[in-house]
């Protein structure tokens, strides 16, 4: 498996983006596979970080760096943000699609992309690998087909709860695929260590306190999948609110933390939607690494396992749909874990680690009661850790995560 490229959901998205725009910007956490995915469709490559010609060209004629067979991949472009505007002008001059692929692990500041690239650049955000991409889900139940109302195939995936616990800890970094569990866990711990000691300081050129960064990540890890408040994180990290806000912004800029925004839609009832986001790390394994825990801890702590399982499902939905995944909670405290949009139709999702009939009934009842507040007709889905895939008589579809696919 080492050195072998595993197909990604982003492959098709990148191909379509190159057909419709002059350039494509691929962002996402370091190590998630952006460069390897881009290389599959690029005809030439410039690595801004390692190519010795970059400094001289930037001082003389930066346009030289954009010359080469197209699509031309500009890797780690954010190290020379002026390349963005030169590429934008080049796209205008060439009047052709599929000219450039820009990849980077840090979101550029507003000044770096003062011209947004609208009409010239498509934007993609890659995640770490899904269970479908690593082969731990058989993909027998297509989310798109479920939402479209297609017949549901019979599926009882083989993924067990101990295997799921191991996968949550191993995570979806491509270079961990096929490694012994111990090596994979060490790699994720190293990743989080590097974030705190190195990567966080690259954002805005600010030298941040690495130990407080670690405390901030641990606070996010403990509160993953919850509406964790800024003051709580500040207290946990022994930092001021202002410092904590900066650290959270920096972690988001390097795609290590990902908020799940609150959903906004028109309700036909008098209830109102809450506005606080839920906090997540880019991969559930980051939480386990930050807390220095392994699969055995999850199996002994079903409540926290449930938190991380919900975070994993949000991660999967985000990658499978290529869109923002929301959560929704009414002022009456009625809530659904995730709201996605598939094929133009909203999908309300409840996430349950268990899958007994009582658990499924309760989740289905929650979904139906929430849907009763909406004007549109959303699809209703329960995602579980196991059991069979079924479509109930009330229209609620139950999908085990080991069967979930695009």
Q: Are residues 102 and 142 in the same domain?
A: no
Q: Are residues 184 and 325 in the same domain?
A: yes
pLDDT for 118 beyond 80: no
Residue that terminates a domain, selected from 74, 101, 125: 125
Q: Are residues 198 and 245 in the same domain?
A: yes
Q: Are residues 222 and 267 in the same domain?
A: yes
Question: Looking at per-residue confidence, does 252 or 115 come out higher?
Answer: 252
Q: Are residues 241 and 105 in the same domain?
A: no
Residue 384's pLDDT is 98
Q: Using alpha carbons only, give the angle 112, 118, 119 rounded to the nearest 5 degrees.
A: 140
204, 199, 172: which is closest to 188 by C-alpha? 172
Name the residue range of residue 45's domain.
9-125
The pair of three-digit structure tokens given for residue 58, joined into one six-digit string? 């930037």
pLDDT for 1 beyond 60: no
Q: Are residues 60 and 135 in the same domain?
A: no
Residue 110's pLDDT is 45
Q: Is residue 3 part of a domain?
A: no
Q: Are residues 287 and 400 in the same domain?
A: yes
Q: Is residue 2 part of a domain?
A: no
Q: For residues 68 and 329, what is the distance between their CA atoms, to the nearest angstrom?
A: 51
Task: Please state the rounded mean pLDDT for residues 266-294.
Answer: 93
pLDDT for 277 beyond 70: yes
Query: Which domain CATH number covers 102?
Result: 3.40.50.300
Q: Are residues 186 and 162 in the same domain?
A: yes
Q: Are residues 183 and 197 in the same domain?
A: yes
Task: Please state the rounded mean pLDDT for residues 244-267.
Answer: 95
Burial 332-342 (b: 16+ CB within 10 A, else e): eeeebbbbbbb
CA distances from 156 to 80, 140, 380 (A): 50, 9, 20
In the chain, pLDDT over 90 holds for what percent of residues? 92
Task: Please state the rounded mean pLDDT for residues 221-243.
Answer: 97
CA distances from 114 to 84, 217, 263, 368 (A): 10, 30, 28, 45
Q: Are residues 87 and 186 in the same domain?
A: no
Residue 105's pLDDT is 85
Task: Please state the rounded mean pLDDT for residues 48-56.
Answer: 96
Q: Is residue 358 part of a domain?
A: yes
What confidence tens digit (pLDDT) does each residue in 91-117 have? Answer: 999 999 999 999 988 876 544 555 566
What confidence tens digit (pLDDT) does each residue in 212-230 have? Answer: 999 999 999 999 999 999 9
Q: Is residue 381 part of a domain?
A: yes
Task: Please state the rounded mean pLDDT for residues 280-291.
Answer: 98
Q: Are residues 205 and 299 in the same domain?
A: yes
Q: Are residues 32 and 154 in the same domain?
A: no
What confidence tens digit (pLDDT) does each residue in 357-404 have? Answer: 999 999 999 999 999 999 999 999 999 999 999 999 999 999 999 999
pLDDT for 130 beyond 80: yes
Q: Is residue 153 part of a domain?
A: yes
Residue that terminates a domain, selected from 107, 125, 143: 125
Give residue for tokens 């839920």: 278
Give residue for tokens 């989310």: 143
Residue that terminates a domain, selected from 98, 125, 152: 125
Task: Please state the rounded mean pLDDT for residues 262-290.
Answer: 93
The pair of three-digit structure tokens given for residue 92, joined into one six-digit string? 């205008």
pLDDT for 273 beyond 50: yes
> What value does the mean pLDDT of the chain take?
95
Task: Please state the rounded mean pLDDT for residues 116-132.
Answer: 90
Q: How many domains does the chain have?
A: 2
- Dihedral (C-alpha) 335, 149, 401, 279: value to the nearest 10 degrees? -30
Residue 116's pLDDT is 61
């Amino acid at each position: 498996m080492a050195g072998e490229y595993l197909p990604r959901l982003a492959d098709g998205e990148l191909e379509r983006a190159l057909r419709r725009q002059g350039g494509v910007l691929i962002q996402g956490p370091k190590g998630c596979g952006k460069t390897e995915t881009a290389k599959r469709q690029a005809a030439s490559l410039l690595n801004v970080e390692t190519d010795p010609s970059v400094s001289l060209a930037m001082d003389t004629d930066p346009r030289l760096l954009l010359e080469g067979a197209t699509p031309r991949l500009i890797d780690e472009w954010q190290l020379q943000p002026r390349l963005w505007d030169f590429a934008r002008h080049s796209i205008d001059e060439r009047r052709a699609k599929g000219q450039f692929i820009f990849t980077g692990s840090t979101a550029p500041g507003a000044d770096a992309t003062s011209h947004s690239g609208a009409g010239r650049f498509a934007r993609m955000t890659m995640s770490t690998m899904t269970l479908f991409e690593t082969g731990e889900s058989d993909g027998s139940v297509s989310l798109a087909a479920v939402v479209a109302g297609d017949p549901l195939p019979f599926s009882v995936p083989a993924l067990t709860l101990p295997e799921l616990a191991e996968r949550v800890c191993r995570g979806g970094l491509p270079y961990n695929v096929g490694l012994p569990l111990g090596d994979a866990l060490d790699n994720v711990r190293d990743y989080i260590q590097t974030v705190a000691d190195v990567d966080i300081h690259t954002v805005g050129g600010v030298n941040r306190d690495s130990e407080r960064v670690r405390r901030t990540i641990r606070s996010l890890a403990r509160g993953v999948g919850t509406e964790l408040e800024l003051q709580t994180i500040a207290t946990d990290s022994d930092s001021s609110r202002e410092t904590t806000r900066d650290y959270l912004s920096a972690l988001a800029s390097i795609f290590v933390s990902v908020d799940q925004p609150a959903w906004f839609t028109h309700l036909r009832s008098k209830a109102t939607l809450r506005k606080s986001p839920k906090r997540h790390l880019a991969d559930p394994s980051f939480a386990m690494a930050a807390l220095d825990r392994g699969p055995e801890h999850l199996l002994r702590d079903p409540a926290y396992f449930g938190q991380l399982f919900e975070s994993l499902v949000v991660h999967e939905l985000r990658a499978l749909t290529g869109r923002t995944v929301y959560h929704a909670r009414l002022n009456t405290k009625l809530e659904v874990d995730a709201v996605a949009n598939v094929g133009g139709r909203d999908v309300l999702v409840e996430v349950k680690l268990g899958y007994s009939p009582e658990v499924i009934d309760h989740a289905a009842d929650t979904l139906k009661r929430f849907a009763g507040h909406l004007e549109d007709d959303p699809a209703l889905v329960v995602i579980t850790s196991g059991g069979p895939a079924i479509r109930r008589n009330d229209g609620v579809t139950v999908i085990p995560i080991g069967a979930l696919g695009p």
